[in-house]
Copies of this chain bind each other. A is one copy, B any other.
Amino acid sequence: MSCELCTQTGGELLWQGERCRVVYVEERGYPGYCRVVWQAHVKEMTDLADDERLHLMEVVFAVEAVLREQLDPEKINLASLGNLVPHIHWHVIPRHTDDPHFPQPIWATAQRAAARTREHPDTAALASAIAASLD
């Protein structure tokens, strides 16, 4: 079996522990988009042990808190889908009213072009804040 989240980091590595990692997803129109990836190849959240699930969600919410503090988005979107890559990963997506799909999910049809005023944040600052929260 070849799984891209088993063989690749999946983005710029911001933080990692033994059980999961946080990566930055450089997606046009979505500054601050991160994913939290479980290190082992596990398909569903309810395949994890209770303490593993708790730990993973703590990391997801730590990333949410850092993104809210640093980017002040209109809304945070959280999702664990995995239909294409059935290896647990959480999307943590800061949304702004002028982003390409707002108020629709980012997987829907785009409503407008990406706002030119929003640039990707300093990933070193994100990494540092996530580490301060988790380490």
Point out residues on A near B: beta carbons under 8 Å: 43-46, 53-54, 57, 61, 64-65, 68, 74-84, 86, 95, 102-105, 107-109
Flag if A54 contacts B54 (CB, 8 Å). Answer: yes
Q: Are B68 and A77 in contact (CB under 8 A)?
A: no
A61 to B52, CA, bound (A): 13
Question: What are 30 A-B contacts with C-beta separation under 8 Å?
Answer: A44-B64, A45-B61, A45-B64, A45-B78, A46-B61, A46-B68, A46-B76, A54-B54, A57-B57, A74-B83, A75-B81, A75-B82, A77-B80, A77-B82, A77-B83, A78-B78, A78-B79, A78-B80, A78-B81, A79-B79, A79-B81, A81-B105, A83-B95, A83-B103, A83-B105, A84-B103, A104-B107, A105-B107, A107-B107, A109-B109
